[in-house]
């Protein structure tokens, strides 16, 4: 798979030096070393989940919150302007002149 994405982060000089030394010791580039380390880390963190399974898990977690805001009036958004104006008149006792 071609690598097209770039990601950068700041590390201490000691960490950078240690990574460069390790890359030289393995006769590889720092980019290859970091890519391999990242892939290994991801495999240990998510050993049993594939990409589709991970998306399903995330969707299931989010689905628990779907519909949690219940107003009792499903078409209220269509009447929002009228409702807001009614509340303002009730609160301040005057109507806006158009």
Report pLDDT digits (tens) over 30-85. 999 999 999 988 888 776 656 677 788 888 888 877 765 666 777 778 888 888 88
pLDDT of residue 98: 58
DSSP 89: H
Report pTM: 0.46
13-25 helix and 30-45 helix, angle to the nearest 10 degrees: 100
Beta carbons within 8 Å of 54's beta carbon, 6+ residues apart: 46
Per-residue pLDDT, averaged over 15-37, amounts to 95
Given a contact cutoff of 8 angstroms between Cβ atoms, the answer to whether 32 and 23 are in contact is yes
pLDDT of residue 46: 72
DSSP 79: G
């Amino acid at each position: 798979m071609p690598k097209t994405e770039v990601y950068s982060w700041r590390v201490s000089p000691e960490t950078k030096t240690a990574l460069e030394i390790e890359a030289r010791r393995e006769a590889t580039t720092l980019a290859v070393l970091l890519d391999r380390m990242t892939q290994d880390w991801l495999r240990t963190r998510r050993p049993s989940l594939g990409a589709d399974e991970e998306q399903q898990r995330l969707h299931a977690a989010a689905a628990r919150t779907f519909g949690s805001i219940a107003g009792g009036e499903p078409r209220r958004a269509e009447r929002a302007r009228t409702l807001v104006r009614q509340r303002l008149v009730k609160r301040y006792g005057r109507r806006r002149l158009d």
